[in-house]
Amino acid sequence: MPESRDNKQIVTRNRKARYSYEIVSTLEAGIELRGTEVKSIREGKVNLADSYALVQDGQVYLKNLHITPYSMASGTEDDPTRPRRLLLHKREITKLTIKTQQRGLSLIPLAVYFRGKHVKIELALAVGRRKFDKRQAIAKEEADRRIKQAVRKETGK
C-alpha cells in the first residue's frame, strides 16, 4: 500500500540519493508513460536506484528508470529501462539546462508518486558528495539523533 502525504500517494523513494548527493532544489514533473507502465507502477514495480535525468534537444528525459513489465499485459513487451520524457514547462526546461551546464549540477529523481490519477516524479538539482562529505553527513545525523533522545529523556516523553 503506498504511503500517503498531502494528496500524494508515494510509490517509491530513492533513498540513496540524499546520501550520495547534496540537494540544492526540487521540482515536480509529469512523466510520459504507456498504459501498462502505469498499471505496473500502481503495483509498486518501479525502481529508481540508478536513474538520472538529462536535458536533450529541448526536452528532459529520465534514463534507467526500471519499470517491470505488467504481468497481465499481452502482446507489447517494452524495454523496462527505456528513456522516458518528463513533462515540464519550457521555462523550467530552460532553467534546468542553464543550471546543469553552468554550475555542474545533476538531475536526480527522488520519488515516484501519484497525485490524483497522474504519475509524478520529484526531481532534484543536486551536487555529488565526496566520501568525506558523506561521512560528515552521517556524523551530523547521529549527533542530531542523540540530542533528540537526550531531550526526550529529560522532558519525560
- Write down the pLDDT at residue 1: 45
Sign of CA dihedral 108, 53, 26, 12: negative
Q: How confident is residue 29, by pLDDT bands cut at 50, 70 and 90?
A: very high
Spell out the domains of the chain, with CATH numbers in brackets. Answer: 3-129 (2.40.280.10)
Could you read off the pLDDT of 114-143 as tens digits, one per residue? 998 899 999 999 988 777 767 877 888 889
For the question of whether the overall pTM of this predicted structure is more than 0.95, the answer is no
- Write down the pLDDT at residue 145: 92
